[in-house]
Structure 1
């Protein structure tokens, strides 16, 4: 009986440690805390409305364009979504990174992709309207967060009205 209790407590501690290490705001080392004088900006609106979409029609996607408007490089450190029904991919310089999802469902990996001054990138957001099943109908709002070395995280927002 004591071995079982010790085993359960050990498993809970290990699981708690994994969840703590994977949290989106975690920073390790001194390099992560250094901020550049670059500026990461959304080129167009940081929100998008899909309007009315159908679960039966499948996934919908939208591309948000971001740009380093500063005079120094910016590192895109992490990308994560607000819900498991949403994924995001980073496209920069002919390379694609991701898809990235919701923290807690998977660890949020570090990207550390440099964006040079005046360089642009695309964040492609994919929403699966059927992910929540029949309970997922109605108005939804989701967010994609981009952590970067230029300062405050950027949020890209989208909304839709989901029908069966």
Structure 2
């Protein structure tokens, strides 16, 4: 075997091993929840436009509601945002989840009883990308559920960041 072939095999094995370790760590940090026919996640508002916001005007917020209209417990988990400038946090009564961002994976699961509503608080920091971070923005927040008909909830947030 030539040196080139041996090196190609070694590099391939390193990449394969590294990818396997990464995938395993990602799966281990994400919540795994069994799906339910009786959990029904209902979201009325799926997008929001903050309009024009000043880059130095501070963090802006929006609250979305998720209601369980089913007859079994709704489970919300694996909250993720599309950019590190945006965070999301769930709240039910006095119970609040950790704050989640773009790269956050967690075992956290919020259980929502039938008839209960959860607030999803989204925050966007227009200054996060620095003084040149002006222009249109589009950010997404996603939350996985155990609802077989809505396994992933998604919200789109937009704005025009100005000086």
Q: TM-score range by the shorter chain?
A: 0.7 to 0.9
Measured in 2, the distance between the counterparts of 1:135 and 1:80 equals 25
Deviations 1:37-94 (A, max 9, x none): 211111x311111000011111100111110011111111221101100000100131
Q: How does 1:46-61 map to 2 (within 5 A)?
A: 46-61=46-61
Are the structure 2 counterparts of residues 141 and 73 from structure 1 closer, same or farther at C-alpha, using a change threshold of 3 Å? same
Q: After TM superposition, where is structure 1 displaced by more than 6 Å over at least 4 residues in a row?
A: none
Are the structure 2 counterparts of residues 41 and 162 from structure 1 closer, same or farther at C-alpha, using a change threshold of 3 Å? same
Measured in 2, the distance between the counterparts of 1:130 and 1:15 equals 34
**Out of 137, 144, 158, which is 2:141 matched to?**
144
**SS class of match (1:158):** strand
Q: How does 1:80-159 map to 2 (within 5 A)?
A: 80-103=80-103, 106=104, 108-151=105-148, 152-159=151-158
Q: Which has the larger radius of gyration?
A: 2
Measured in 2, the distance between the counterparts of 1:69 and 1:25 equals 29
Measured in 2, the distance between the counterparts of 1:147 and 1:160 equals 25
Contact kept, 8 Å, 1:27 with 1:33, in 2: the verdict is no
Query: Paired residue for 2:5?
Result: none
Deviations 1:93-118 (A, max 9, x none): 31111210002xx4x10222110111
Query: Paired residue for 2:25?
Result: 21
Query: Paired residue for 1:69?
Result: 69
Contact kept, 8 Å, 1:36 with 1:74, in 2: the verdict is no
Contact kept, 8 Å, 1:89 with 1:124, in 2: the verdict is yes
TM-score by length of 2: 0.80
Number of equivalenced pairs: 149
Are the structure 2 counterparts of residues 19 and 138 from structure 1 closer, same or farther at C-alpha, using a change threshold of 3 Å? farther
**Aligned alpha-carbon RMSD (Å):** 2.7
TM-score by length of 1: 0.79
